[in-house]
Chain A
Amino acid sequence: MPDYKLTYFNGKGTAELVRLVFAAGGIVYEDVRLQQDQWPELKPKTPMGQVPILEVEGTMLCQSNSIARYVAKLAGLAGKTPLDQARVDMIMDGMEDLGKKGHGVYWEKDEEKKAEKKKDYEETFLPQFYTCMNKLVGDSGHFVGNELTLADITFFNMTTLVGNYMKLPNVDEFSGLKKVMDHVTSNPGIAKWLKERPETPF
């Protein structure tokens, strides 16, 4: 019985970052995928009425980014010093902003407004964001230090998810970001997971 039990729906969504970190760290965990009809019974038992949750040492953690940071610490991917950890954190939070803004466009009900927002997101926001993030990549091809951290993995995961419904800038035009993506996809644990993970609708 693994020491860690992750519960989410059968999709990537906000749990995939955690799964990627477990994979990169080579840490065994139970990857529980809920059916929709199982959710109402579980919901009041969770800390904040949401998934993903991680059960560990008799405690339930919620909030996907908090779980990801915890697993990253276990896997040695959180950043070495407090300041490094803060920089990993800030990259994660920056990517969260990209995701939230993309969601805002995706869920816009008014078709005309949605088209306008999508155009602005793809043609103005994303190029500016990529330019900004590219500057934050070090010569090593990592966001923080000389090794893979949660920051690199978050960039990969969030852009991949958003890329499912938005046109992303071509990462080949951003040399720093390209290196980050290559580092992530060539990590043995992650490469294996990307090949083996279930195909899901989201």
Chain B
Amino acid sequence: MPSIKFTYFDGRGLGEVNRVMLAAGGIKYEDVRLHESKWAGMKPTTPMGELPLLEVDGKTICQSNSIARYIAREAGLAGKSSLDQAEVDMIMEGVRSLFDKAAQIFILPEAEKAARKKKLEEKEAPELLEYLNKLASNKGYFVGDQLTAADIALYVNYESVGSLTIALPSLDKYPNLKKVADNVKANPGIAKWLKERPVTTY
């Protein structure tokens, strides 16, 4: 296993799915948390002017979703066959769209925020969670019968959306998704990380 350095701001945000997967895979890495003041100086040195970054084997990977897929493969969480991997992928993209919508709303001016927030909380999120609940098995796995990056993505994104002050429906309404969350939390590497990770504002 080559040495891995993961760089993001000091928060969960777009970085946390990766940190949780690294924990699930028992992969040691350098968890670099950049202070905002250092970002301007670092930005032009990055491939696309953004964080997070993954440095491995002398190469730099950007784009949180791409980093997530790479780590998932390294951690054995990507799905076994190409088709399984595509299913894991599609779930990850679906749950990520929830986070992206919430993040867009978060930065809107107050006047526009209320209406968009209502639409997400009352229509878009419940609809998507309903679809996702059907895609998860009643054992609490999206693909196959083992933990994959899809399950982890659901747990982490659900948590992150909550921290963007969007009131999502409780997972108790979606029994399969509730089991997914329980399976994620019960993974030993993840349970340890959830207990020990720094407490941050987002």
Write the residues of chain A forming the contact surface with B, with a CB cutoff of 8 angstroms: 47-49, 56-57, 59, 61-63, 65-67, 69-70, 73-74, 82-83, 85-87, 89-90, 92-94, 97, 128, 132, 136
B61 touches A63 (CB 8 A): no
B70 touches A56 (CB 8 A): no
A48 touches B83 (CB 8 A): no
Chain A residues with CB under 8 Å of B73's CB are 82, 85
Interface of B is mostly: helix
B82 touches A73 (CB 8 A): yes
Interface of A is mostly: helix
Chain B residues with CB under 8 Å of A47's CB are 90, 94, 131, 135
Interface code B80-100, partner A: CB below 8 Å = 1, 0 otherwise?
001101110110111000000
Chain B residues with CB under 8 Å of A92's CB are 66
Chain B residues with CB under 8 Å of A74's CB are 82
B94 touches A90 (CB 8 A): no
A89 touches B48 (CB 8 A): no
In the complex, A74 Cα to B81 Cα: how many Å? Answer: 12
| Interface footprint category on B | 20 to 34
Q: Mark out the residues of chain B between 134 and 187 whose CB falls within 8 Å of any chain A CB in the assembled complex.
A: 135
In the complex, A67 Cα to B56 Cα: how many Å? Answer: 27
Q: Find the A residue at minimum CB distance from B57.
A: A83
B63 touches A94 (CB 8 A): yes
Q: Say yes or no for B62: interface residue by CB 8 A criterion.
A: yes
Q: Smallest Cβ distance from B95 to chain A, in angstroms? A: 10
Give 5 pairs: A residue, B residue, CB < 8 Å, sorted on A: A73-B82, A82-B70, A87-B59, A89-B69, A90-B47
A66 touches B90 (CB 8 A): yes
Chain A residues with CB under 8 Å of B83's CB are 56-57, 59, 61, 70
- Given A67-B86, A90-B62, are A83 and B70 neighbors across the interface (CB < 8 Å)? yes
Partner of B63, one of A62, A82, A93, A132: A93
- Given A61-B86, A85-B70, A86-B67, are A132 and B59 neighbors across the interface (CB < 8 Å)? no
- Given A59-B83, A73-B82, are A48 and B128 neighbors across the interface (CB < 8 Å)? yes
Q: Say yes or no for B49: interface residue by CB 8 A criterion.
A: yes
Chain A residues with CB under 8 Å of B92's CB are 66
Pairs A-B, 9 closest by C-beta atoms: A89-B66, A93-B63, A66-B89, A70-B86, A86-B70, A90-B66, A63-B90, A90-B63, A66-B90
A66 touches B93 (CB 8 A): yes
Partner of B66, one of A57, A93, A128, A136: A93
